[in-house]
């Protein structure tokens, strides 16, 4: 057992989010508490980025769903699976459809990723 100390608190969430947390915890063979801690830590890192907040809000409004549903969908689709290392790359929109330009733009990023994972 970890020697870390945690504060205990209660949390009210939508039933569909609870189901998603249970499924994720079961598939990753960790506790729901660990999943929630990880999500809160990731959220706090993202929360500082106003651009991401505005993108989530825009997606929520476009789909006419709560922001929690947008975040839940993102988590379900993008939470790393066991044995995976997540890598996020923001690609300039003008490179869409430009294979040569995209390859040129990605080349130094690929080297950076490889160096980071050595």
**pLDDT tens column, 3-36:** 577 778 788 888 888 898 899 889 989 998 888 8
Which pTM value belongs to this model?
0.37
* Mean pLDDT, range 83-97, rounded to an integer: 83
Indicate whether 42 pLDDT > 90. no
Q: How confident is the model at residue 1 (pLDDT cuts 50, 70, 90)?
A: very low
Q: Is the pLDDT of residue 99 over 90?
A: yes
**Is the pLDDT assigned to residue 78 strictly greater than 80?**
no
More confident residue, 78 or 106: 106
Assign 75 a pLDDT band (cuts: 50, 70, 90).
Answer: confident
User: What average pLDDT does the segment 106-116 reach?
Assistant: 84
Q: Shortest CA distance to 38 belongs to which of 75, 3, 2?
A: 75
């Amino acid at each position: 057992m970890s020697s870390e100390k945690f504060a205990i608190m209660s949390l009210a969430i939508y039933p569909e989010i609870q189901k998603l947390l249970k499924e994720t915890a079961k598939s990753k063979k960790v506790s729901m508490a660990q999943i929630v801690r990880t999500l809160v830590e990731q959220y706090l890192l993202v929360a500082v980025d106003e651009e991401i907040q505005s993108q989530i809000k825009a997606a929520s409004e476009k789909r006419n769903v709560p922001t929690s549903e947008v975040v839940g969908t993102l988590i379900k689709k993008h939470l790393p699976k066991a044995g995976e290392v997540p890598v996020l790359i923001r690609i300039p929109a003008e490179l869409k459809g430009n294979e040569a330009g995209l390859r040129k733009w990605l080349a130094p990023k690929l080297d950076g990723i490889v160096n980071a994972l050595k």
